[in-house]
Every structure is written in structure tokens, then in C-alpha cells.
Amino acid sequence: MPTRKELLDMTTAMHRHLCPRQVLGVRMGLYAGELLGLALPQSDKRLYTIVETDGCAADGIAVAVNCWVGRRTLRIEDYGKVAATFVDTQTGQALRIVPRPTVRQRAYAYAPDAASKWEAQLIGYQLMPADELFDVQEVRLRTPIEAIISRPGRKALCDVCGEEIMNEREVRRDGALLCRACAGDSYYLLVADPALGHPEPPQPQFALLLPGR
Ligand SMILES: [Zn+2]
Ligand SMILES: [Zn+2]
């Protein structure tokens, strides 16, 4: 099992620098393993992590727990917070870990010779006991972890755009099988769409596009 130092080296290599948020991320991940009784970084997919921000903290967490987007063991719910929920997919136990509001100030006590606030955090976050660094909440996911993981490999075709949908992300509405975008839950607008510029994106015309239904 890699040491905390080795994990910090790994995240430093990814970022070409080490910063306080990467340290927080690594410490959060290791603390989750301790609290859930899991050996981390994991070699399987038992732990699933939901991180509440992108950026440095997310990579610190990913390295410490070995959860990755590409392995379908990590997702971002972007609340802009250095916080994460760690889910033991075998027991269903889910712990949300977040730095205490006072950690920035407390870091100074652990790094009295630090040249700057940034350096005090960088050093302090490595030395502070985890229970002084973090608050832990036991949580229940609104979407069950089984549904988040879903059945990988399952495929469907959107009745409107015809694009392939993986991992049970399709939406059923009025007998139609839709991708999230065609169901109106799209993060983008098509530039070629004449409706662009209108306040509301167009609603798909199911009746026209779904002959025979
Ligand atoms: Zn950074
Ligand atoms: Zn579609």
C-alpha cells in the first residue's frame, strides 16, 4: 500500500506542483478508507466516489482512493466545494467528508515558520490529525448507488436523435425512449438550431418524429 508521501508524489506528478487542495484531497481519501474500513487505494471497484468540485482536490482524492471517471468509480457533482462522498458499494454506507471551516486558521499552529498562508496550509494539512481537518456526515444518496453504477454495457437508441445511449442513461417518456438531451435535460444548444436565441430550448415533436407510436 503506498504511503501518504507516495500518494502526494503521484498527485504532484500529475499537476507538476503540490498545493494545499491536493493534500486535502489525498487526506480525505485516506480518511474515507480508514472510516469505511477499506484498503485504499483500492484495487477493485468497491468504493465509488462523488466529488463536489473539479480541480486539484479531485485529483488528490482520485489518487488516494483509485477511483477514476474512466473506471466508472468517480463522478463530479459540481457544487464548487472541496467535499466528497465515499460510497462502499458492498454495504451501501456513504460518508460525506468536508474540511472544517476553521482549517485554514488552524493550519498555522502546525506550520509556525511558514512563509505564507499558502505554505502554512500546504504544511499544516499534511500534519493535522484527520479529525481536526474534516467533518464527516453519514449520508444517503438520492439516486441509489446501484442506479448510478447501472448495468454497464447496456445500450439503447434515442428515438429522436438516434444516438446510442450507454449505461441505462435513457429516459422513458410517453412510450418514447429518449436521451437526456432530447428529453430537454441538455447542457448544450445546437448552433444550427433556429430556436437558438429563444429563451426556452425547443420541445421535441414526439408525434412527428415517432411514426407508429
Ligand atoms: Zn493545485
Ligand atoms: Zn436524443
Can you name the CATH fold of 4-148?
Answer: 60s Ribosomal Protein L30; Chain: A; (3.30.1330)
Which-ligand-closest: CA of 55?
1
Averaged pLDDT, groups of 10, the chain, 213 residues long: 88 86 97 97 97 96 96 97 98 98 95 95 97 98 94 90 95 95 93 71 55 47
* pLDDT score at 43: 96
| Residue 25 near residue 61, CB atoms below 8 Å | yes
Q: How far is the CA of 15 from the centre of ligand 1 (A)?
A: 7
Nearest to 145 by CA among 90, 197, 185, 192: 90
Which-ligand-closest: CA of 160?
2
Which-ligand-closest: CA of 206?
2
Q: How far is the CA of 197 from the centre of ligand 2 (A)?
A: 21
Q: Give the phi and the psi of residue 127 in degrees, each rounded to 5.
A: -100, -25
pTM for this predicted structure: 0.86
The full set of domain ranges for the chain reads 4-148, 150-213
Q: Which residue has the cell 491536493?
A: 22
Q: How far is the CA of 183 from the centre of ligand 2 (A)?
A: 7
